[in-house]
Amino acid sequence: MTTSTATVRLDVDEECVTRAHRLLIGLGAALVHRPFDTDTHDRLRAFLDVDAAQVLACLRVLQDRGEERLRRRIDELTGCHVLPAGGTGGAV
């Protein structure tokens, strides 16, 4: 039996926001763990000085797509159907 799975790639804006999200979660955890670590502070400053404007621009692009388009994209990326907020699915 052979199964095939298609790989759906993130677009440029999705990848930019995803990478930044992961970086900021890591930096936030590092700040909690070692709040006075100068390397962590330097990495956060570098992100804010160099990358933050681009990430915010990418985030605006994603937000401008609208909820319906974003839900379809999530479905495409995950292979799962995402219900609207408040859910309109029936009982299972």
b/e 10-43 (16+ beta carbons within 10 angstroms → b): eeebeebbeebeeeeeeeeebeeeeeeeeebeee
pTM, two decimals, is: 0.76
Report yes or no on 4 lying in a domain.
Answer: no
Locate all alpha helices (DSSP H) within the chain, ordered by sequence. Answer: 12-33, 38-46, 52-64, 67-78
Q: Which domain holds residue 67?
A: 12-78
Report yes or no on 28 lying in a domain.
Answer: yes
Report yes or no on 3 lying in a domain.
Answer: no
Report yes or no on 70 lying in a domain.
Answer: yes
pLDDT higher for 6 or 60?
Answer: 60
Report yes or no on 91 lying in a domain.
Answer: no
Report yes or no on 47 lying in a domain.
Answer: yes
Report yes or no on 55 lying in a domain.
Answer: yes
Domain count within the chain = 1
Report yes or no on 52 lying in a domain.
Answer: yes
- For 20-74, the pLDDT digits (tens) are 999 999 999 999 999 999 999 999 999 999 999 999 999 999 999 999 999 999 8
**Number of residues that make up the chain:** 92
- For 69-78, the pLDDT digits (tens) are 999 998 998 8
